[in-house]
Amino acid sequence: MSFFIASSPHNHQKRTTSRLMQLVLLAMVPGVLAQFYFFGWGIVWQLLIAGFTAVCAESLCLIARERSPLRGLQDYSALVTAALLAVSIPPLAPWWVIVIGTIFAIVVVKHLFGGIGHNIFNPAMAAYVLLLISFPVQMTSWLPPVTLSGESIGWWDSLRLILVQYTSAGYSVDQVRAVATGQLFDAVVMATPLDQIKTDLAQGLTLSESLSKPIFGAFAGHGWLWVNVAYLFGGLMLLQQRIIQWHIPAALLGALAVAAIIGSLAAPDALPGLNIHLFSGGTMLAAFFIATDPVSAATSNRGKLIYAALVGVLIYVIRSFGGYPDAIAFAVLLANLCVPVIDQYTRPTAYGQAGGQR
């Protein structure tokens, strides 16, 4: 008599890993559609390139490990990693950026650690940090939202900009960016509204002066508000389907909110408030799709609360006092390092062990 021992992610419902990953991809659709609406066709091409690269890299790794590539690809975990990385980078980043990042995520972070269920870091976030440190210019080359600039780039020109860095009319990415931002900003466009705030404060402007710029709406970053709302909607779908539990999203958003409120009360004209932190970056994507990774997150419910609260606090600290405007990837990786210790002190005591002795 033999038992089949499977690696994480584990789920008490009668759903396969393949079905769970499919539902995660489905829940990302509202956020992807919002990004497409505000930032154009680039997001679609990045998803396609990342998905193709992930499938190829996963297949080669499985063949090298003498496993069936077809069976390995059926769990869709590689596509989830590719999708999370693709929606995190600028839509018009060169094709080799997303290819390098996806290969690193699949080959190094996932398979060199033993494959699905064995990686200690979130693959997409590890790849994002690699790209941000290695190619900072390409990773911060965001265009303003289409609804703000009035300049829309078609599907063909978007593909050309990604592949060869020139449109059919011969305009480079920098020229396209200059046209899109020349009538709106005095300086070159920043990566995100969070980056705009950090740059303005470094130049001596007050928070109020920074928030008065067109890139900000009445409540949060223009366009980014609805992108976050869309990912929030997708995250609620995951909660409703019981794909994830409430502990990580609630603790992450709660810790970030408390830190933001305290900071804005202490320095109201130097530190952004709650609305900016929750709806002007990738916060909702992190809370429901990234930090909830069942492999690299803590396992017990109490451990999940501690882990996610740590991510939320780290996001606020790095955003406010660090050198990077949106600190999600760094915060998640630092928290991943702490997961073994968190699990050590929060795992439930086995039945029959007196006094909590293990």
The better pLDDT of the pair 58, 184 is held by 58
The amino acid present at 142, given as its one-letter code, is W
Give the model's confidence band at 13: pLDDT under 50 very low, under 70 low, under 90 confident, else very high. Answer: low
Whole-number Å distance between alpha carbons of 106 and 120: 13
Give the pair of three-digit tokens for residue 1.
């008599």
Region for residue 332 given its phi and psi (left: phi exceeds 0; alpha: psi -120 to 50; beta: otherwise): alpha
pTM of this structure: 0.87
The DSSP secondary-structure symbol of 15 reads: -
273 phi and psi, to 5 degrees? -90, -170
Q: What is the pLDDT of residues 193-212, one digit of tens each?
A: 787 787 778 788 888 887 77
Contacts of 89 (CB under 8 A, 6+ apart): 46, 97, 98, 101, 128, 131, 139
Average confidence (pLDDT) over 146-158: 77
Q: What is the pLDDT of residues 231-259, one digit of tens each?
A: 999 999 999 999 999 999 999 999 999 99
Q: What is the pLDDT of residues 286-321, one digit of tens each?
A: 999 999 998 999 989 999 999 999 999 999 999 888
Average confidence (pLDDT) over 203-226: 80
Whole-number Å distance between alpha carbons of 174 and 94: 12
The better pLDDT of the pair 25, 167 is held by 25
Assign 3-state DSSP to the chain and report helix, strand, coil percentages, each to 5: 65, 0, 35
118 phi and psi, to 5 degrees? -120, -15
The dihedral of CA 203, 206, 209, 211: what is its sign? positive
Best CA proximity match to 164, nearest among 173, 174, 151: 173
- Three-state secondary structure string covering 58-88: HHHHHHHCCCCHHHHHCCCHHHHHHHHHHCC
Angle of helix 328-346 relative to helix 301-321, nearest 10 degrees, comes to: 150
